[in-house]
Amino acid sequence: MNLRKNIQKDSIKIIIPSDFIYLKIIEDVFWEFLKINKLLQKIKADEILLAIVEGVVNAIKHGNNNDLKQDVSFFLFLEKKYLNIIIKDKGKGFNLKDLKDPTKGKNLTNKNGRGIFIMKNFMDKVNYNFSSDGTELHMRKEIL
């Protein structure tokens, strides 16, 4: 197991193997981070957590192809009035233009294809950076 955690008051870094069983650790640490920073009443935590889970699932499944030898890095940090999230995998990326709208036509009944749609609807900002080192998902939510 290659699980590593670095938790501070205003930031978290967790590195997990590409296995869905580690999602629980990320969820638990997320809730603890919100409590420590007194953010539970200032953000829609359930929506943010769903965006995080979708991002990590995509990193494990699509980025790292469920390869337990490949890690997923999860960063959560506060910056002024924003909660920032970065999820990194070792995948080569994808073309955003190839994504189908899950709210239209036959896409409504597809088993997959809603993760990025959910992230974009629950977060204020969602961006991807693709490089030879892998894919980075950047998400941001304003703290009210």
- Average pLDDT of the chain is 89
Which of 3.40.50.300, 3.30.565.10, 2.160.10.10, 3.30.210.10 would CATH assign to domain 4-142? 3.30.565.10
Asked whether the predicted pLDDT for residue 98 surpasses 80, the reply is: no
* Per-residue exposure over 118-140, b if at least 16 CB sit within 10 Å of its own CB, e if not: bbeebbeebeeeeeeebbbbbbe
Q: What is the DSSP string of 7-33?
A: EETTEEEEEEES-GGGHHHHHHHHHHH
Q: What is the mean pLDDT of residues 130-139?
A: 96
Which pLDDT band, with edges at 50, 70 and 90, does 107 fall under?
low
Please determine, for residue 1, whether its predicted confidence score (pLDDT) is greater than 60. no
Residue 3: band (very low, low, confident or very high) from pLDDT cuts 50, 70, 90: low
- The domain spans of the chain are 4-142
Of 73, 85, 68, residue with least CA distance to 5: 73
Quick one: DSSP state of residue 105?
G
Given this model, what pLDDT does residue 26 score?
Answer: 95
What is the model's pLDDT at position 111? Answer: 66
Give pLDDT, residue 32: 92
* pLDDT mean over 119-137: 95
pTM of the model: 0.90
For 60-88, write each residue's pLDDT tens digit.
Answer: 999 999 999 999 999 999 998 999 999 99
